[in-house]
């Protein structure tokens, strides 16, 4: 990374790298050098932002959904124009390679397109009434203020999944990005404001960004005016957020940890499996919530597959994510590196055979934490394997019987993404059945990473149960009303109850 590159990207989005009163330093994981310093919002400023959002909601909910979608369509157009610039900022701030950063911005564009079509499909049902001359139906209404709390690893896409749907559904949004990647959020707000100016009748406060740490997040979570808190992060974070929102009877949408596994059956196309596993396990330097962390492979093909993976890993180019040909960028910071090394030591102590995992490029990038993705052959599924470590560690487990593979697969607290590589139809269908994968995402002959926006994204168990993005995830951002209309001249009561006066 060059200082000139960072300066030009920030200037393009009108971001001041050194505002007055700054108390949050934003550094690039590429080299550990400062990108900017920002002023954090105080809790009372968060409360004011929520107040503005509440006022905006009051006006926005009355705008017809297809008209609301026009604002989202314009946002998608602006994102197309700014795709390269925003991707470079994502790359600088999160450390993911440029190709993945471009893909993340494309996700934003895709969800805008999805939301525009959705605006004419916010359907309710019509139900048959037991009473003559009556009709029953359900209608969906805007919910209120939505707080989005996002993580560093997808600094813009996860916000867009929430934002595009919330805006079309008639809500206002207050976004708290990770304190590690706030610049990307401020750039998104700048892009939105361009779209809002073109739209022409956008209420002030419809979209806001608040910057800060735990106190800012807590202010959002605890405010009764926030109807929905959509939070992406660790299971630990979810354990704190969920009960606090529930205590005030608010809604929560949690997308938390994943300990995703791939089963490779003896009938699998090993070349296909190799490609799917390598990207899902090593891509984004192992810092996706859908990263493959466990490989459950049949004894007949284990040696061949693991040998091929080790050769593929040896050829992965590690380096500055802005450079052409680089496939693995840095970990986000020293804390992530320390957690990875701790997990590798624990796995080795439990009998694991560790290949890779060491720090590299210290001489050329002393401030960046670059690592060689690790493969750890484990004798059994231990507590270390069951715990998610947000780093490129692939634990390899052997199985002999398909039922054993399913038990290993499901024997973790998390339940986000899963996959099986097999050419056996019975195995594939069993994996997708009620007795198969217990995850929110279950794939056949593709890896665990790279979900499309058309499907609902989220998982079960300690992953939190929330769903974002496609399918009917929009229902989280609206409230349902059941309606009964009597068009007869009588007033019969349901269930045959009589109350004559």
Residues β-bridged to residue 460: 415
Contact 212, 39 (CB under 8 A): no
Of 375, 340, 341, 343, nearest to 356 by C-alpha is 375
Which residue in 112, 289, 377, 398 is the catalytic one?
A: 289
Percentages helix, strand, coil for the chain (3-state, rounded to 5) are: 40, 20, 35
- Cα 474 to Cα 34, 56, 114, 156: the distances in Å are 38, 20, 11, 19
Nearest to 273 by CA among 296, 252, 257: 296
Rg (the chain; Cα; Å)? 24
User: Is residue 152 classed as helix, strand or coil in its secondary structure?
Assistant: coil
Whether 461 and 438 have beta carbons less than 8 Å apart is answered as yes
User: 173 — phi, psi (to 5°)?
Assistant: -130, 135
Catalytic residue flag (residue 289): yes
**468 annotated active-site:** no
User: Which H or E run contains 372?
Assistant: none
**CA pair distance 291, 79, nearest whole angstrom:** 26
User: How far apart are the C-alpha atoms of 385 and 131, rounded to whole Å?
Assistant: 58
Residue partners of 275: CB distance under 8 A and separation at least 6: none
In sequence order, what DSSP letters do the residues of 414-428 get, joined into one string? Answer: EESEEEEE-S-HHHH
Catalytic residue, chosen from 179, 255, 388, 427, is: 255
In sequence order, the 6+-apart residues with CB closer than 8 A to the CB of 12 are 85
Q: Nearest-5° angle of CA 423, CA 426, CA 431?
A: 90
Joined tokens for residue 118: 């959705």
- Residue 64 phi/psi, 5-degree rounding, is -55, 145
Task: Give the active site residues.
Answer: 255, 289
């Amino acid at each position: 990374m060059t200082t000139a590159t960072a300066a030009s990207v920030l200037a393009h989005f009108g971001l001041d790298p050194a505002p007055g009163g700054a108390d949050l330093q934003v550094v690039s994981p590429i080299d550990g050098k400062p990108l900017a310093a920002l002023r954090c919002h105080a809790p009372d400023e968060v409360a004011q932002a929520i107040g503005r959002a509440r006022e905006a909601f009051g006006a926005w909910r009355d705008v017809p959904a297809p008209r609301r979608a026009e604002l989202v369509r314009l946002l998608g157009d602006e994102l197309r124009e700014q795709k390269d610039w925003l991707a470079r900022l994502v790359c600088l701030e999160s450390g993911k390679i440029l190709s993945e950063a471009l893909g993340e911005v494309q996700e934003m564009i895709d969800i805008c397109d999805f939301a525009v079509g959705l605006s004419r499909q916010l359907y309710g049902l019509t139900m048959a009434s037991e009473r003559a001359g009556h009709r029953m139906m359900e209608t969906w209404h805007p919910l209120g203020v939505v707080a989005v709390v996002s993580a560093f690893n997808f600094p813009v896409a996860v916000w867009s999944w929430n934002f595009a749907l919330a805006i079309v559904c008639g809500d206002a949004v207050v976004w708290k990005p990770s304190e590690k990647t706030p610049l990307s959020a401020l750039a998104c707000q700048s892009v939105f404001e361009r779209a809002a100016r073109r739209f022409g009748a956008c209420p002030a406060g419809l979209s806001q960004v608040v910057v800060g740490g735990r106190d800012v997040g807590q202010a959002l979570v605890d405010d009764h005016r926030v109807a929905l808190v959509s939070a992406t992060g660790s299971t630990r974070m979810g354990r704190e957020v969920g009960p606090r929102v529930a205590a005030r009877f608010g809604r929560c949408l949690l997308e938390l940890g994943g300990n995703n596994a791939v089963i490779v059956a003896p009938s699998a196309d090993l070349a296909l499996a190799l490609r799917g596993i390598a990207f899902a396990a090593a891509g984004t330097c192992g810092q996706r919530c859908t990263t493959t962390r466990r490989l459950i492979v049949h004894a007949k093909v284990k040696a061949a597959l693991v040998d091929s993976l080790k050769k593929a890993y040896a050829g992965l180019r590690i380096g500055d994510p802005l450079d052409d040909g680089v496939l693995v960028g840095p970990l986000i910071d020293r804390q992530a590196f320390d957690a990875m090394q701790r997990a590798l030591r624990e796995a080795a102590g439990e009998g694991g055979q560790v290949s890779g995992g060491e720090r590299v490029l210290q001489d050329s990038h002393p401030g960046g934490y670059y690592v060689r993705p690790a493969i750890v052959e484990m004798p059994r599924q231990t507590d270390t394997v069951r715990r998610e470590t947000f780093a490129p560690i692939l634990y390899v487990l052997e199985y002999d019987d398909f039922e054993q593979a399913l038990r290993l697969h499901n024997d973790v607290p998390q339940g986000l993404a899963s996959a099986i590589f097999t050419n056996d139809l019975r195995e594939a269908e069993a994996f997708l059945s009620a007795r198969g994968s217990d995850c929110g995402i279950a794939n056949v002959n593709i890896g665990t990473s790279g979900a499309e926006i058309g499907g609902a994204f989220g998982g079960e168990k300690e992953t939190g149960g929330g769903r974002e993005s496609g399918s009917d995830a929009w229902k989280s951002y609206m409230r349902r009303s059941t309606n009964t209309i009597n068009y007869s001249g009588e007033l019969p009561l349901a269930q045959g109850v009589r109350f004559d006066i």
